[in-house]
Amino acid sequence: MAVNRVPVLKRCRSLGLDPIYLGIDKKSNRQLKRANRKVSEYGLQLREKQKAKFIYGVLEKPFHNYYLKADRMKGMTGENLMVMLERRLDNVVFRLGLARTRKEARQIVGHKHVLVNGRQVKIPSYLIKAGDTIEIKEKCKGSQRYKDILEVTSGRLVPEWLEADQENLKGTVKELPNREAIDVPVNEMLIVELYSK
């Protein structure tokens, strides 16, 4: 599997992104040394796509597949794309406060700690549906790792489309998210324009 080894804060600086969207509390004191060049339309579109890919931890091919699937669905393609990215299991685990970052959520899912409706799921890109129950396996609940995670994420706001029970390390998907409920600073219309060329 391809791994992006660029330091996270450096990548956030280059994309003009606040690390808090990744679940990271650190701030970079450095400023990006960028000449005051005018960015082309293509450059703006590409940056928005790179932002979305970086936030959700998705590589180019699966991201393009999400776009094609969103294009075939009813409604606006950009909104469909953002909703599909938000419905990924690793993202939902992060949003419920069961992981500090999306990368950690991906690792937790990959290590088979997550049950969806009582069944073990180890695929981070698994798309959840309305009414699904997500919880950490019973044998993993007592580990020190999850105590540390809850300490860090206890004050984090859970989106209104999710219902979290942090004491029992579980949550429920009340409904599928709409674009207004997704607080990611990405202009999805630019991504649609980029792919529709």
In this model, does residue 1 exceed pLDDT 60?
no
In this model, does residue 87 exceed pLDDT 70?
yes
pLDDT value for 22? 76
Mean pLDDT, rounded, of the chain = 88
Quick one: what percent of the chain has pLDDT higher than 90? 55
Task: Identify the CATH homologous superfamily for domain 88-176.
Answer: RNA-binding S4 domain (3.10.290.10)
Among 133, 194, 196, 197, smallest CA distance to 169 is for 133
d(CA 66, CA 81) in angstroms, rounded, equals 6
Residue 33 tokens, joined: 């040394």
pLDDT bracket for residue 11 (50, 70, 90): confident
Tell me the CATH number of domain 8-27+39-85+183-195, given options 3.40.50.720, 3.40.50.150, 1.10.1050.10, 1.10.357.10.
1.10.1050.10
CATH 3.10.290.10-classified regions of the chain:
88-176
pLDDT bracket for residue 142 (50, 70, 90): confident
